[in-house]
Amino acid sequence: MQMQKNYDHKLYEEEIIKRWEEAGIFKARNDTAKKPFTIVLPPPNASGKMHTGNVLMIAIEDILIRWHKMKGEETLWIPGTDHAGTETQITFERELKKQGKSRFSYNRQDFYEEVWKFVQANKTLVEGQIRRMGAGVDWSRNKFTLEPEVVSLVCKTFEKLYQDGLVYRGDYMVNYCPKCGTTYADIEINHIERVDPLYYIKYGSLVVATVRPETKFGDTAVAVNPADTRYKDWIGSEIEVEGLSGKFKLKVIGDEFVDPKFGTGVVKVTPAHDPNDYEMGKKHNLATVKVIELNGKLTEVAGKYAGLSVFTARKQVVDDLKAKGLIDKVDEHYSHSVAVCKAGHDVEPTILPNWFVKMDSLRKPALEAVKEGRVKIYPKWRTLTYIRWMENIHDWAISRQNIWGIRIPVWYSSKENPNLIVSFINTDGTVVNGRLAELLRNYTLEDIKKGLQVLMAPAESKYKISVEKPSEDCLQETDTFDTWFSSGQWPLAILGYPESEDFKYFYPTNVLETGWEILSKWVSRMMMLGIYLTGEPPFKNVYLHGIVRALDGRKMSKSLGNVINPEEYIDEFGVDALRMGLVAGTATGKDFSFPRDRIVGYKKFANKLWNVARFIEPVLAAKQSSDSSTNEDDQWILHELELVIEKVDSSLEKYRFAEAAEILYEFIWHKLADVYLEKVKDRREEASQTLSKALDICLRLLHPFMPFVTEAVWKEVFLDEGLLISQEWPESK
């Protein structure tokens, strides 16, 4: 039957996906006669649809899977979705806000179940997008990060780390968001430039500069740089400071951290609410005075300002300081960097009891694995980023004050811990909070468990770490694990560590492919935990792709209105064009702007390939020539084809996906179509064998990049040969 005039992706894509699925093409088997090739799909967040970065990731990983499958290896590409703790909870709480509700309207369990329903709906959307992209994943092994076996592994790992002396609980300076009610790791927070007033406040004979006068109630020293000749003689002395409620004394300390060029060169030191002050406090044995509660309001030490929010207190404190003549001057146009959380709220540095993992013994083997070349990072220049991060890594705060996530398996006996601070919803639907011992006078422990919202355990609390509940009088920790802690075990969880046949055959995986921006957040965590639990790194190679930016080169953002919906491009141009447009024409691992023009161009390329096949298809039955044709044009195109096979293989082995894509584009469009087909117009039947071979090999080479149009052409032209994905990869002679 004659091929239609143009390639219409809408007529073929769904049908081809069904053919692959019905044939079970991507269902992996533990075939010890074959070499395994494994990729674990970095799980997209189940809190919303996939973005263009996810599409690029899937395109690259699918290229690798199809290439290795056609080379005869037993390929396994495991799909999954991530519960994305903090991000998902923020997204869901926005939806609640539209309904006039908040998380405080629910007890912990009911809130969790509501988020679960929300995520399952989004999870289905994400999985549908992965499927529509033509991803050659094994859906029979699909995982979600909150499935029972994953939760069990994560909790057991925590228990093992504790038994090995690598987990501890203690007060620590953390990035806390009072509005979100959770902590953030340093690498999770964002920094924005903002203009705020810089206040110059009289501290006795000295003047300090600060943007945060409301924290002055927690000052335990003032600091200068030891090299600053203006204040050298002040170091070690005490100054008498007139405050808002009487006079007090502060010691002057010298510390290299102080920038002599900032303000007057004198800073107030508030160890409880600034990470740099916290470090100075430890170094100089300063007292730590908490000024701001977890709800973002000032504590009793602030006197008449207690109970006020940070910003309200700041205004009143400034007004009162001015009234007392203690403001020297104000710079109304001071620009500085402000830490904000994922939701855009100001982060409040504060000291909280948190769960930490010691990094020193975990980081060393993970660092050596890369330095020794047992794990290779592509592009190679990203290796230094990894090494520097691992060399300077700090202990890891793994607890989050979230509801949505894997709950930390820590238990507090109600008998041994009367000072637990508890918030719960009683049977009347009222939120009740206070010290546990006092609450138990009016409520049963079962009442509290049933309506439990949040539990805060003081640093001196007694606890037990156990996957199983140790006794009925216990309350479980309400903190959840940092998402990077659970996803740091993803390669193990998804392969059924430690006893499954999948784990024994497919671990370690061959390639981790992900965005460079989570090299420190995720890749390093998987390396450390994988080696800790198995003795081997979880992957042999790491490929880091760049960030896809908006058409204007800026980061995509809903607020900027420049977010690109990949599905719109799939509808208009097809999956192949979107995939090739994202993969081709970009420097390896570098950020790039969304390539709309290239996508349009690769839509035309798909049609060009279709028309090449239409030109060749009528004469394939003749096959009058042979591989040994003496015609110069035939010999030339076959020679060029051999070079293409070598170049594509070489580029893919080096993870140069754009280079491989461009080699194929150049050959098919310009050498095969523009030159060779023009030359054989008048002798198509004579050249049929060469034409057949050229089309056959081009379809095989291009298939990993553009699986739909190549599979469609293969079916139209080589009907009796089965699926193209089942064919062997071409080898150069």
Is the pLDDT reported for residue 501 higher than 70? yes
DSSP 3-state percent helix, strand, coil across the chain (nearest 5)? 45, 20, 35
Q: What pLDDT shows up at residue 628?
A: 60
Q: What pLDDT shows up at residue 179?
A: 81
Is the pLDDT reported for residue 563 higher than 70? yes
Is the pLDDT reported for residue 186 higher than 80? no
Question: If you average pLDDT over residues 199-227, what whole number do you get?
Answer: 96
Dihedral through CA 624, CA 627, CA 633, CA 636, nearest 10?
A: 170
Distance CA 486, CA 493 (A): 9
Distance CA 552, CA 544 (A): 23
Is the pLDDT reported for residue 441 higher than 80? yes
For residue 498, whether the previous peptide bond is cis, meaning omega lies within 30 degrees of 0, is yes
Q: What pLDDT shows up at residue 87?
A: 86
Q: What pLDDT shows up at residue 393?
A: 93
Q: What pLDDT shows up at residue 245?
A: 82
Closest to 402 measured CA to CA, from 458, 356, 454: 454
Q: What pLDDT shows up at residue 338?
A: 94
State how far the alpha carbon of 332 is from the alpha carbons of 85, 219, 313, in Å: 38, 23, 18
Distance CA 108, CA 126 (A): 26
The percent of residues in the chain predicted with pLDDT above 90, rounded, is 81
Per DSSP, the three-state class of 400 is strand
The percent of residues in the chain predicted with pLDDT above 70, rounded, is 98
Q: What pLDDT shows up at residue 536?
A: 97
User: Which class is domain 190-340?
Assistant: alpha beta
Helix-helix angle 688-702:632-653, to 10 degrees: 10
Phi-psi region of 474 (alpha: psi -120 to 50; beta: other; left: phi over 0): beta
Is the pLDDT reported for residue 627 higher than 60? no
Q: Work out the mean pLDDT of the chain and round it to a whole number.
A: 93
Is the pLDDT reported for residue 182 higher than 80? no
What are the strands of the beta sheet with 410-413, ordered from one edge? 464-465, 410-413, 474-476
Q: What pLDDT shows up at residue 433?
A: 83
Is the pLDDT reported for residue 624 higher than 80? no
User: Which class is domain 596-726?
Assistant: mainly alpha
Phi-psi region of 422 (alpha: psi -120 to 50; beta: other; left: phi over 0): beta
Q: What pLDDT shows up at residue 552?
A: 83
Q: What pLDDT shows up at residue 622?
A: 60
For residue 262, what pLDDT band results from cuts at 50, 70 and 90? Answer: very high
Helix-helix angle 596-616:688-702, to 10 degrees: 150
Is the pLDDT reported for residue 619 higher than 90? no
Domain ranges of the chain: 34-171+360-407+481-545, 190-340, 409-478, 596-726
B/e letters for 694-703, b = 16+ CB within 10 Å, e = fewer, are: bbbbbbbbbb
In Å, the largest CA–CA distance within the chain is: 105
Question: If you average pLDDT over residues 51-69, what whole number do you get?
Answer: 95
State how far the alpha carbon of 405 is from the alpha carbons of 104, 150, 340, 480, 662, in Å: 17, 12, 22, 6, 43
Q: What pLDDT shows up at residue 421?
A: 87
B/e letters for 189-213, b = 16+ CB within 10 Å, e = fewer, are: eeeeeeeeebbbbbbbebbbbbbbb
How many Cβ atoms are within 10 Å of 552's Cβ, its own excluded?
Answer: 10
Q: What pLDDT shows up at residue 352?
A: 83
Is the pLDDT reported for residue 132 higher than 90? yes
Q: What pLDDT shows up at residue 644?
A: 98
Question: If you average pLDDT over residues 511-522, what whole number do you get?
Answer: 94
Q: What pLDDT shows up at residue 623?
A: 56
Is the pLDDT reported for residue 48 higher than 90? no
Distance CA 362, CA 566 (A): 39
For residue 50, what pLDDT band results from cuts at 50, 70 and 90? Answer: confident
Q: What pLDDT shows up at residue 658?
A: 96
The architecture (CATH level 2) of 34-171+360-407+481-545 comes to: 3-Layer(aba) Sandwich (3.40)
pLDDT tens digits along 334-362: 999 999 987 889 999 988 888 999 999 99
Question: If you average pLDDT over residues 701-726, what whole number do you get?
Answer: 94
Is the pLDDT reported for residue 558 higher than 70? no
Higher-confidence position of 8 and 185: 8
Radius of gyration of the chain (CA): 31
Distance CA 194, CA 208 (A): 20
Residues with Cβ within 8 Å of 349's Cβ and at least 6 positions away in sequence, in order, are: 173, 174, 175, 176, 273, 274, 275, 278, 339
Q: What pLDDT shows up at residue 323?
A: 96
Q: How many alpha carbons lie under 13 Å from residue 209 in its C-beta half-sphere?
A: 18
Name the pTM for this structure.
0.86
